[in-house]
Amino acid sequence: MKSKQPKKELAGKRGGRPQPARREAQGDTYRKKVKKVATKLPDVTVCPDCKAIFRGGRWRWAAVAKPTGTRREVCPADQRIRDKYPAGELTLRGEFARSHREELLGVVRNLEAKEKAVRPLNRLMEIRDAGDAIVVTTTDVHLAHAIGVALFKSYRGTLHAPWAQEGDLLRVSWER
């Protein structure tokens, strides 16, 4: 007799056990909320805020002036900045962080500039003081993680960077 429960969608086999489909494992609710366009963007789309160009399936910085007759659409990074919905949050704590604030923020800004030159969607959103901590928010989880790792490699201390299960927000904490 067949079971009346729906079958799990298979994404492949690992060790003979069925695995859940990738879309079930990923749960970035922000992307689900802002998903306006049902189809892929046209090949040449320009962000009116940052002037990045969507070409060949990815966002890039424009090498030349904006091509004529292009579609205008806000890029995902600028959309996150408008919505004030960060993907990554880095918290710097401790006496060392307070006494070397400008030096640490210099590392943060330099790494962001290097990342942003290659990946237009990886940007800082805000740097703010929150009591005895410094909070840095980013538009991409990988940028927050990379900054935390860079601070740990340069200054040691304690790094706590658990990847979020749902994919909404990565909270990285560095303390020294």
Q: What is the 3-state secondary structure (H, E, C) of the chain?
A: CCCCCCCCCCCCEECCEECCCHHHHCCCHHHHHHCCCCCCCCCCEECCCCCEEEECCEEEECCCCCCCCCEECCCHHHHHHHHCCCCEEEEEECHHHHHCHHHHHHHHHHHHHHHHHHCCCCCEEEEEEECCEEEEEECCHHHHHHHHHHHHHHHCCEEECCCCCCCCCEEEEEEC
pLDDT band at 163 (very low <50, low <70, confident <90, very high): confident
Burial class of residue 52, CB neighbours in 10 A (0-12, 13-18, 19+): buried
pLDDT at 27: 55
- Average pLDDT, stretch 131-160? 94
* CA-based nearest residue to 172, from 102, 108, 96: 108
pTM greater than 0.85 (yes/no) = no
Best CATH choice for the domain 86-175 from the list 3.10.20, 1.10.10, 3.30.70, 3.10.129: 3.30.70
pLDDT at 25: 47
pLDDT band at 86 (very low <50, low <70, confident <90, very high): very high
> Does pLDDT of 4 surpass 60?
no
Which of 20-24, 39-43, 169-173 has the highest average model confidence (pLDDT)?
169-173
Burial 123-133 (b: 16+ CB within 10 A, else e): bbbeeeeeeeb
Choose the weakest-confidence range: 3-12, 108-117, 143-152. 3-12
Q: Tell me the longest C-alpha to C-alpha distance in the chain.
A: 70
Choose the weakest-confidence range: 45-49, 77-81, 156-160. 45-49
Domain range annotation of the chain: 33-75, 86-175
